[in-house]
Structure 1
Amino acid sequence: MKNVSDWSSANAPDLATFRDIAHAAFAALPQEFRDRCEGIVIAIDDFPSDEMLKSVGAEGPFDLLGLFQGLGLAQTGDSAFTGQQPNRIWLFRRPILDYWAEYDDSLGAIVTHVLIHEIGHHFGLSDEDMEAIEAEN
């Protein structure tokens, strides 16, 4: 049995800590996958905006764990449009923490899963492709 007193002062990770978790998860992805992510910004916020929720048809702020915003490689090829905002992967701390509380997965595994899924949108990957990348991790 774990020593419960070790958890007596534990808090949920704040935004800065969550950002560190996301960057560590990204750094652990296969190199060839990361190499193709040049220019993608990883952004962290507590919740998605109402506009983000509406864009994907989500009903509430806890329904969206992450979001890819931008033009994927399938739409742009390997070059970016001049004046185009950078592609951005959003990870939403509170919905991810809520999901973590409900399931047996580690927080790191959930963040990695969401990150791979959202980057997968950039690449136009299938669910099978994303599962294979997760299996490598």
Structure 2
Amino acid sequence: MREPSAAEFESLARAVLARLPEVFARALEGVVLKVEEFATDEQLDSLGIADPYDLTGLYEGVALTERTQWDSEGLPPVITLFRQPLLAEMEETGVGFAELVRHVVIHEAGHHFGLSDDDMHALEDSVGD
């Protein structure tokens, strides 16, 4: 079976974001979505992660719940999916491409909103397949 390309990951991730409830979709309009093969050494170091296969997605930015009026300046928040670790997780767990991308995108988007893990699971359930 052929591995999904970076473009296919991005397309599916954008489709997941498009299916979020309107209140969430509006708040994510300024968030950049990227797909990279692996996290950078700087990203891994900032999280204390040694193995690049241990990081499938990352939210970089200030959560909406923690923003101040001065946080509107500078770089936009970014959600990055890491293709190779996601491919490895798909192979190891048997979780399907769409299900895994949905899970990681919603988890990282949840960080943008300052959601708890329980809130993220409820949001993921609301998006469905």
TM-score between both structures, scaled by the size of structure 1: 0.85
1:11-56 Cα distance to aligned partner (Å, 9 max, x none): 1011122211211222222222212212001111010000000111
Does the 8 Å contact 2:63/2:111 carry over to 1?
yes
Root-mean-square deviation (CA), in Å?
1.6
Question: Structure 1 stretches (4+) deviating beyond 2 angstroms?
Answer: 28-32, 77-82
Residue 59 of structure 2 aligns with which residue?
68
Gaps of 5+ in 1: 1-9
Unaligned runs of 5+ in 2: none
Show the counterpart of 1:6: none
Rg larger for = 1
2:36 to 30, 38, 45: 45
Identity of aligned residues (%): 40
Q: Aligned partners of 1:134, 1:19: CA distance in 2, in Å?
A: 18
Q: Does 1:33 align with 2:44?
A: no
DSSP-derived class of the 1:85 partner: coil
Distance across 2 between alignment mates of 1:43 and 1:77: 25
User: 1:78 Cα shift?
Assistant: 7.8
- Identify, as 1 or 2, the structure richer in helix: 2
Residue identity in the other structure for 1:42 = L
CA distance in 1, matches of 2:39, 2:49: 10
1:90 paired to 2:80: yes
Please state how far the C-alpha of 1:80 moved relative to its aligned partner: 4.2
**1:1-137 paired onto structure 2 within 5 Å:** 10-77=1-68, 80-82=71-73, 84-137=74-127
Whole-angstrom CA distance in 2 between matches of 1:119 and 1:81: 18
